[in-house]
Structure 1
Amino acid sequence: MRHQLATFKLDDRLYGVDVARVQEALKIQAHTPVPHAPRTVAGLVNLRGQVVLMVDLRARLGREPYGPDDEPMMMVVNIDGEPISLLVDAVGDVLELDPDTFGPPPPTLEESLQELVTGVYSMEDELLLSLDVDLAAQV
């Protein structure tokens, strides 16, 4: 059975999460900062009456967080039945991938990604990093 992954870009790398975990993808919305929160918390956003935590995935992966002038996309995922918004550079397509193309993360992968990437899919022209969405959403 082929794996369906919703994809997104972050720092010119292609990532994917199980499409069944994705609620929606949106342009960044007006949000409220959370005082004294870790740098991985970008704020809170109201999505149709529901308050949703925004996780800065750049900061979560050990990179420079998004600045006030950046316009990341929001990939809203379900974590234990609750929506969490992951901020990403760009949202991509849903891809159907053959499980035979899946392998362990390369040993050259940065340490900040080692715990969050469950493996990689070898595609024709690039690698797709499979992200552990539960760990990625932890702040």
Structure 2
Amino acid sequence: MSDNKALVPSHERGAALDLRGDTKDFVTAYIGKQLFGIPVLTVQDVLGPQRITRIPLAPPEVAGSLNLRGRIVTAIDVRKRLGLRDKEDEDPGMSIVVDQGGELYSLMVDQVGEVLSVPKKAFEQNPATLDARWREFSDGIFRLDKKLLVILDVTRLLDFNAAVKQAV
């Protein structure tokens, strides 16, 4: 019998992460001292500091837009989306560009790490102790030697309509 859990939607089983195969690859990023992972197949590009144009009346998590090789890309401040304080230093950070439904989004993070390949057997559901806001945007975790890798669900992270529905 095949493992159909990997194909069940996240709202039905708690994680949308496809766990087929022996390992999973993630582009890692730091926000503060916390390590996050984004599935490598969703990543289009990694950018250094960019000039961002503010968008009037946009939600606070939307930092603005930028031009990437002639395409307009919406820049999302992941720090604000996760409910974290603004950075204290002046380092402009980096961005991970992802494709969501044919649209490009720039996920603004403090620092981009490496591409990390982790064994799927090390995957765990979100622990109850993980911040509630982080659980909302996380597929689960991997416990590494001295760090916790929180896997971001890009679809939920970019779903601003769900946040509006919950607030109503």
> Aligning the two structures, in what range does the TM-score lie when normalised by the shorter sequence?
over 0.9
The equivalences for 1:40-119 within 5 A come to: 40-65=61-86, 69-119=90-140
Q: 1:126 to 1:58 in 2, by over 3 A?
A: same
Question: 5+ residue gaps in structure 2?
Answer: 1-20, 161-168
Which residue pairs with 2:165 in the alignment? none
- The structure showing larger relative contact order (alpha-carbon pairs under 8 Å, at least 6 residues apart) is 1
Higher strand share: 1
User: Among residues 142, 145, 150, which one is paired with 1:121 in the alignment?
Assistant: 142
- Number of equivalent positions: 139
1:64 CA drift (Å): 2.5
Alpha-carbon RMSD across the aligned residues, in angstroms, is 1.6
| Deviations, residues 60-79 of structure 1 (Å, cap 9, x unaligned) | 00112458944021110111
TM-score normalised per structure 2? 0.78
In 2, the alpha carbon distance for the partners of 1:127 and 1:92 equals 14
Question: 5+ residue gaps in structure 1?
Answer: none
Q: Which structure has the larger Rg over C-alpha atoms?
A: 2
Identity %: 36
In 2, the alpha carbon distance for the partners of 1:85 and 1:66 equals 18
| Deviations, residues 20-59 of structure 1 (Å, cap 9, x unaligned) | 0001111121111011111000001000100000000001
Q: 1:116 to 1:48 in 2, by over 3 A?
A: same
Higher helix share: 2
